[in-house]
Chain A
Amino acid sequence: MKLLLLAGALAASMLAAPPIVIQNATVLTVTKGTLSSGSILIRDGKIAEVGEKVNVPADATLVDASGKFVMPGIVDCHSHIAADSINEGSVSVSAMVSIEDVLNPDDIAIYRALAGGVTTANVLHGSANAIGGKCTVLKMRWGKDAHDMIFEGAMPGIKFALGENPKRAGNPTGQRVGAANVPPRYPATRMGVEDVIREAFTEAKAYQQSWKDYNEKIARGEQALAPRRDLKLEPLVEVLEGKRLVHAHCYRADEILMLLRVSDEFGFKIRTLQHVLEGYKVAKEIAEHGTGASTFSDWWAFKLEAYDAIPYNAAIMVRKGVLVSLNSDSAELMRHLNDEAAKTMKYGGLSETEALSLITINPARQLMIDNRVGSIEAGKDADLTIFDKHPLSNFSKVEKVYIDGQLYFDRDHDLAERPGHDAEKKKLLDKENEQQRRPAPGVGRRPAA
């Protein structure tokens, strides 16, 4: 809690803050090259100037970053942190549920993500359903209330999932269909997953039509009862109307092609394929659809459908013209996405800038927030991470993280605060141990309300 208060206080102190100038740093802009000794002027939460020389206002706070590296805040296109629940696994189409309803700004993983240089994350529903729940893009504004973490204006998303997870999840035994007297959940095959998606969109089109009919009747001055609002179908109508981005969990080439064809047939877009470990096999088709791919660097064989993965996946897809990002899917991996990006230089020979793009501007483009974040350019949000060494070195550490020009993580500050936290914790534990020696209030005959 102290941590939270600290971050809150840090953030608050920056609110009406004077401009900040980060000086003498190696600036990795990602989109505009690298400045070996550059400066960044931050004003009102935005990057005001970037260059070898910038204006230094008289009231500016100066941050000397000599020998250090500044890169754009890392964007993670696939995360499951900061939410009190992830999977509504009971049904094959759980589009009625929303991560936004269960955001948890107290999740310590947010602070740890900051410590790994992440400033923005796409928080997704789990992969238990062919069509999963609604997703939300967050900035890692640790210390703020849930709603203040939401990336203002970012397009909302929805999770789809193909393959083993959706066909296994509803099955209570995990493997055997129809065991334990509990009805298995449809679907149990990849064919079934396709069918569920088709059926859902067929329903969604009918639902869309029922509202059109109603609105036309009202426009003609007729009396009519509005259709029942259906929270499951509303987001699918938004997908059909291009107002909601589809992030589809997938592994195998065949199911990837299936989904692209189904989306063509129903007239909607798949914004990103997530994991997409066999994407290298169908990179051309993915690129032709203008669909993005968000994958792992070298994480595979954790289940059957992940056996054909190769560490060259990201690089091959990049070379074939796919918009590629690397994601974490894990609160732990999220803290070193810079290392993950570096691996694509070894496996596939991507350039430094290309590697950095995979965790900055590319995921920002996939999430359609690249006008705000993903690179260091004048006019963009001042979401910046300062590393002590080159971020693509696995010896590098995050020193400071800014979001909207506010300092949300400071390594020195964190280290300095730790003894205080330990003392606070010890005090509370001692107090509690003392209390526990006394008898507890009894609750016997009366069930608790």
Chain B
Amino acid sequence: MKRLCTLLLAAGGLFAAAPTTIAIHNARVIPVSGPAIPRANIILRNGLIEAVGAEVAVPADAWVIEGDGLTVYPGLIDALSTFGIPDAAPVVIPGGGRGGAPAQQPQPVQPTPVAPANSPARGPEDRPYTTSWIRAADLVRPTDRRIEAARAEGFTTAVTFPPRGIFAGQGAIVDMAGEKAGDMVVDDDAGQYVTFITSPGFGGGFPNSLMGVIAYVRQVYLDAEHYRLAKQFYSAHARGTQRPEYDRALEGVLDSPRVLLPARRRIDVDRLLRFSDELHLKTVLYGLPEGYRSADLLKKANAAALVNLRWPERARDSDPDEIDPLDVLEIRDRAPSTAAILAKNGVKFALYSGGIDRRADLIRSIRRALDAGLSPDDALRAMTLSVAEIYGVADRLGSIEKGKIANLVITKGDLFQERTEVKYVFVDGFKFEPVEEPAPPGVRGDGPATPTNDVPPRGGNQ
């Protein structure tokens, strides 16, 4: 009960309840892993799904939820996010020195004194914009207020990453409730999150171009492989061998079971899949507003894709006299068809919210994909079981099956209809009842500071 009370406080505005055993009685169940069951019982015990099926008996000790008129879905998983990472701001020092240590004083070529921490990177060896050793699992906090809004949208789980840097750090799969951080973490090994940021201008240090970032990432992977061999060699011949220098940047890279790389255009998909092939990386591409043109490449490489549900749009404050070229217009028009085309071509993909934090907006974005030909079943799978499969946790998340984690969304009506009410959300067997959303303001003036999915002008550096 103490835990319950704390949760109540933490959840603020949501009602959470955690009896040990819960039975959802006579509900329509969409397991995702199999066909829909018109009437079934689901038994949750100790945070796991104990049983599911039409014939399952309701245990005597269970709290019973009458499922008449309700539909039960697996909890949605946001496949790429920063949930639980308050302010999402690990310290990133450009040119922070090998392994993140303060950089050595640059060669005194000019008399200007230079503060080491601010010195621009002189090359890959300075490991610019790299915090690969940071783990989201160590950063998550259950107090992040965004978690509550996400649960109201139907997300019970998120894959969350340290957001900044070229090698930003290692992701974690977290459940969207918990008294303390440790309660939330389902898996601390979701992969390395890579962004293609560049230093500003020519004076800001290496790298300041897209090809510089790519060269940097390539050099780091080569270094990591060399580091691995050097450590191996050293442990076999320690006596008489100079020891390899400990490098936490490379440790972080070697620790990551997969890497997430950003891809907007077809050409990004093409070049990054070639790049991954060259370096034998296990790659997941994310973004993909031009994924509708890239299905053949993804299929051929058998690569997974995370598609951002925040479809690219013309900037609200764009100059009305400035007309974008045809291909940019086409990307904005066709981006929502990406999911349908990937599904049709048998590409493994998932959808992520891209920061959309109101249910009505999320549903509207999903509906654009449905209108462009995505089947509701494929949409649901792309936000549940497919995410779990991409991150290698399908044995515990992503569907309503015996033994999996008790993460559920229970609705009155179809999950992807705007007017559908989310009645209950279960996270690790804890029940939450989303409160009424506040009435949306007439005109929303709180747009994003930095849109992530916009199509850059042609030829521009990323």
Contact = CB atoms under 8 A, between A and B. Distances in A.
Interface of A: 1-4, 83-91, 94, 96-99, 101-109, 128, 133, 145-147, 169-172, 177-178, 180-186, 188, 223, 225-226, 228-229, 231-232, 421, 424-425, 428-429, 431-432, 436, 439-449
13 contacts: A1-B330, A87-B209, A90-B212, A98-B211, A102-B211, A104-B459, A107-B459, A225-B229, A231-B215, A428-B326, A446-B149, A448-B448, A449-B161
The 4 closest A-B pairs by CB, nearest first: A172-B203, A448-B355, A441-B361, A89-B202
A4 B150 CA distance: 41
Contacts of A170: 202-203
B361 A442 contact: yes
Contacts of A108: 325, 458
A96 to B, nearest CB: 4
Interface residues of B, number: 94
A232 B216 CA distance: 10
A260 B80 CA distance: 53
Given A90-B208, A91-B123, A440 B163 contact: no
A182 B119 CA distance: 8
A444 B361 CA distance: 11
B206 interface: yes
Nearest to A4: B327
Contact of A85 (B209, B222, B267, B364): B209
Interface in B265-285: 265-267, 270-271, 274-275
Interface string B119-147: 11111100000000000000000000110
Contact of B202 (A128, A228, A232): A128
Nearest to A145: B270
Interface in B297-345: 310, 313-314, 316, 323, 325-327, 329-330, 332-333
Given A439-B444, A448-B310, A184 B212 contact: no
Contacts of A146: 267, 270-271
Interface stretch (B13-21, B102-110, B426-434): B102-110
A355 B118 CA distance: 53
Nearest to B364: A441
A222 B354 CA distance: 54
A446 to B, nearest CB: 4
A96 B110 contact: no
Contact of B333 (A102, A177, A178, A428): A428
Contact of B112 (A97, A178, A223): A178
B357 A442 contact: yes
Nearest to A172: B203
Given A108-B325, A178-B111, A447-B163, 5 more contacts: A90-B204, A90-B212, A91-B206, A184-B110, A429-B323
Contact of B229 (A97, A171, A226, A441): A226
Contact of B210 (A90, A102, A106, A231): A102
Contacts of B201: 172
Contacts of A98: 211, 214-215
B237 A183 contact: no
Contact of B149 (A2, A183, A223, A445): A445
Given A1-B326, A431-B333, A440-B447, A88 B355 contact: no
B180 interface: no
B417 interface: no
Nearest to A227: B226
B462 interface: yes
A228 B207 contact: no
Contacts of B204: 90, 172, 182
Given A443-B448, A448-B451, A88 B119 contact: no
B191 interface: no
B214 A442 contact: no
Contacts of B123: 91, 96, 232
A89 B212 CA distance: 9
A430 to B, nearest CB: 11
Contact of A178 (B110, B237, B355): B110
B444 A425 contact: no
A172 B202 contact: yes
Contacts of A232: 123-124
Interface in B407-430: none
B209 A225 contact: no
A445 B274 contact: no
A424 B355 contact: no
Contact of B110 (A172, A177, A442): A177
Q: Which of B80, B161, B211, B316 has the most CB of A within 10 A?
A: B211
A97 B205 CA distance: 14
Contacts of B313: 436, 440
B219 interface: yes
Nearest to B453: A448
A137 to B, nearest CB: 17
